[in-house]
Structure 1
């Protein structure tokens, strides 16, 4: 179908600016990656604080273990809210467009995180403190739940079909970059002000810094146009009136398998970046700053591994690459804790680096693997729901389950078996996952060079 530039505001804007599809692909990739970086900075910052700070600030009357469980419980609430965000913003993203939904999710996430930075603790306002913390965490979860689908689609739908894996992996870079920035912020504030300063007031600084990041993210996102795939749906008057209900009704298997295929990726990931801080400091008496430094090194490696495995999925296929990652995480479940338990700095670093590298074998191709399963008219809703439902069954419960297993057994063996079980579930889901939807093969006319009118 040939787009009439005189009736298409997006094409008219392209002509007026003398831009091109290639330029918009670059802008979309950058805007998606910057946005997800900020979202995940906020989300990971909470996870780090839940492991190190929140037990004493918001649950001071509990024992150390009970305080940690309560802090991870508030973290789980954010995971449980993600599918709600996916449904809300999936609806508007499929009805009105990807761009507007993404600007809203970014604003919501930033506001919730900044408010956490000024939230009084239990010593000041009593039980209201953990209640307000939980409410803000819910807002964070809704924001992240709506963010992922739109960011991935903004980048992927501007990309060429043969590069979907690579283009969709770029927003996934927001995870290692956000992890790197949040961990670095905690590390710097703690190092400069000292442990006492960080635990009393300094922990708020990284939360307040998110305001600056949000301003940058909004500026970048406002410059990106709507994706050509969604414009085509709108031109053909094929916009689905109730996309969430439509995708649940027509593609339930795709949603369910998209959720469970993430078990081997998401559950171990949150053990590798949050539970490891609790396990390392309390069970192994390792230094918090050393563990944070190790996470920084592993996160930096993600700059290479995430897009690399996304690119390899374009060559060898999504399922093959993803399946290798599932098997890899199962094999590494016991060696991971074996390396940690040596308490040797070099081997602890090796455990953390390898854990995230194997995770990225799945995380690189994952966005395209899930998104391509759904039709264009319901893709934001379907991909978002499938992806975020995993937060309820995988990512959210993982630190809680690991903490409970360790409390009951005083051993990491049960946690390793838990990781293996997650891998088995993911492999079954991968084998049952539907083939890519036919609409993925639609050819959207590309104008690689659009001259100013």
Structure 2
């Protein structure tokens, strides 16, 4: 069996049915939605309540920075999750890693929902919060790579962008679900009741989502590319070592591509806009409920643009789609705060919705782009570690940096230029890459895959 056929074939050479592919798409969407729901519930709570419940003794401004810093702390542990998931995913398969990361993420999220506050146990409260946040980071570091490879390696060659968009739309779906549940709780438990117990309910609901996600993922077949590698007993012994020995420059460039998207994306997913728009001493000063509904609405525009971008990348190539996306994202970055600062919920929605169109076009093709960059034997490691490093460089501390810039300058223009600079970095990184849309993904084509995707470089 040829490697070019493997994304649509089982190890025995029979064509995978449409039903098999639908199950894979459904499983990756459900699984990543659950994972990112957990992640974004935390980010929303960090922007709305954690500064007052866990860090208040530090003072109002410092508490806000500390709360956002806990969002970023988890990113520092994503590479550890990526290293572990990449090693075991390239050695033992994609599916086992996906099930494990789902359980770890959901368990940590549920436990946050029952944590005592600083007023109840003192310094132990923020310490426990950070420990659980670290577990979320380790899980997130391993989740994404496995999900995108399951989707892309099952896909027909000419539909990898579309199939790869499936785990990508799990991110806006997670944002939509997390913001929606938070908004509902702000209605059910308004004011002090939200601060006392309402914020805990979205965390506790994670246990239900874990059960659903676990059931769905257990029913999915292993990636046909990995199944073929395993059948031949060709698993790489130390995939991480091989990755960095041969592909370090590629890992860095791929990471910078995602960093350009992540910095802008984490204005909403990291909770910054929610905090900024609800700050009673700020220029907007809205209630939490309307802001959460505005962010929820932007989840729809992000979802739609992500899906469309994946489809478009199958028509015009990953690189061209990204280049369009960077231009649109820059426009969204420049429009974000002028729209939010109009002071109404409509302005908040317009600002984040316009931004998410560009975010979708610089995120929708990412699964296919990353999968086509790395050889089959180290693909899980390459995809996961590039994503994790990019998350640190881009999204990890973007909310903290934004809050610090506003506190230091008294204006949001400093944040706008920061986000514009990160967008430019993503654009330059994309220009450094060749388009590899449609390259064979199977192990028979390792030689072709090993030719460097970096422009001007012939070998990895």
- Alpha-carbon distance, 1:440 to partner: 3.1
CA contact (8 A) 1:117 1:204 kept: yes
Instruction: Choose which of 272, 277, 280 in structure 1 pairs with 2:277.
Output: 280
Q: Output the CA distance in 2 between the equivalents of 1:2 and 1:175.
A: 33
Match of 1:226 in 2: 222
Q: Output the CA distance in 1 between the equivalents of 2:83 and 2:239.
A: 9
Matches within 5 A, 1:227-266: 227-266=223-262
Match of 1:128 in 2: 124
CA contact (8 A) 2:32 2:143 kept: yes
Q: Output the CA distance in 2 between the equivalents of 1:67 and 1:305.
A: 35
Match of 2:332 in 1: 332
CA contact (8 A) 1:339 1:348 kept: yes
Instruction: Choose which of 171, 192, 196 in structure 2 pairs with 1:200.
Output: 196
Pairing 1:167–2:168 present: no
Please list the CA deviations of residues 339-385 of structure 1 after superposition, one character each: whole Å capped at 9, or x if unmatched. 11121333332111111121101111111112210011111100000
Q: Output the CA distance in 2 between the equivalents of 1:247 and 1:66.
A: 40
Q: Output the CA distance in 1 between the equivalents of 2:435 and 2:334.
A: 33
CA contact (8 A) 1:406 1:415 kept: yes
Q: Output the CA distance in 2 between the equivalents of 1:438 and 1:376.
A: 14
Q: Output the CA distance in 1 between the equivalents of 2:16 and 2:383.
A: 28
After TM superposition, the structure 1 stretch with the greater mean CA deviation from structure 2, 283-292 or 432-441, is 432-441
Matches within 5 A, 1:373-452: 373-433=373-433, 436=436, 440-442=440-442
Match of 1:6 in 2: none
Q: Output the CA distance in 2 between the equivalents of 1:59 and 1:235.
A: 53
Match of 2:311 in 1: 311
- Alpha-carbon distance, 1:443 to partner: 9.3
Please list the CA deviations of residues 35-58 of structure 1 after superposition, one character each: whole Å capped at 9, or x if unmatched. 000000000000000000111111
CA contact (8 A) 1:53 1:199 kept: yes
- Alpha-carbon distance, 1:194 to partner: 1.8
- Alpha-carbon distance, 1:249 to partner: 1.0
Q: Output the CA distance in 1 between the equivalents of 2:318 and 2:255.
A: 16
Pairing 1:216–2:207 present: no
Match of 2:184 in 1: 188
Q: Does the residue aligned with 1:353 lie in a helix, a strand or coil?
A: helix
Match of 2:363 in 1: 363
CA contact (8 A) 1:262 1:387 kept: yes
Please list the CA deviations of residues 55-92 of structure 1 after superposition, one character each: whole Å capped at 9, or x if unmatched. 11111212222111001111111111111101101100
Q: Does the residue aligned with 1:258 lie in a helix, a strand or coil?
A: helix
Q: Structure 2 vs 1, CA of residues 438 and 337 (structure 1 numbering), >3 Å: closer, same or farther?
A: closer
Listed as ranges, the gaps of 5+ residues in structure 2 are 4-9, 445-460
- Alpha-carbon distance, 1:437 to partner: 9.4
Corresponding residue pairs, total: 434
Q: Output the CA distance in 2 between the equivalents of 1:225 and 1:415.
A: 45
- Alpha-carbon distance, 1:123 to partner: 1.0
Please list the CA deviations of residues 258-303 of structure 1 after superposition, one character each: whole Å capped at 9, or x if unmatched. 1101222110111134111121122221222111111111102233
Pairing 1:54–2:54 present: no
Q: Does the residue aligned with 1:240 lie in a helix, a strand or coil?
A: coil
TM-score with structure 1 setting the length: 0.92
CA contact (8 A) 1:373 1:434 kept: no
After TM superposition, the structure 1 stretch with the greater mean CA deviation from structure 2, 270-279 or 339-348, is 339-348
Matches within 5 A, 1:7-22: 20-22=16-18
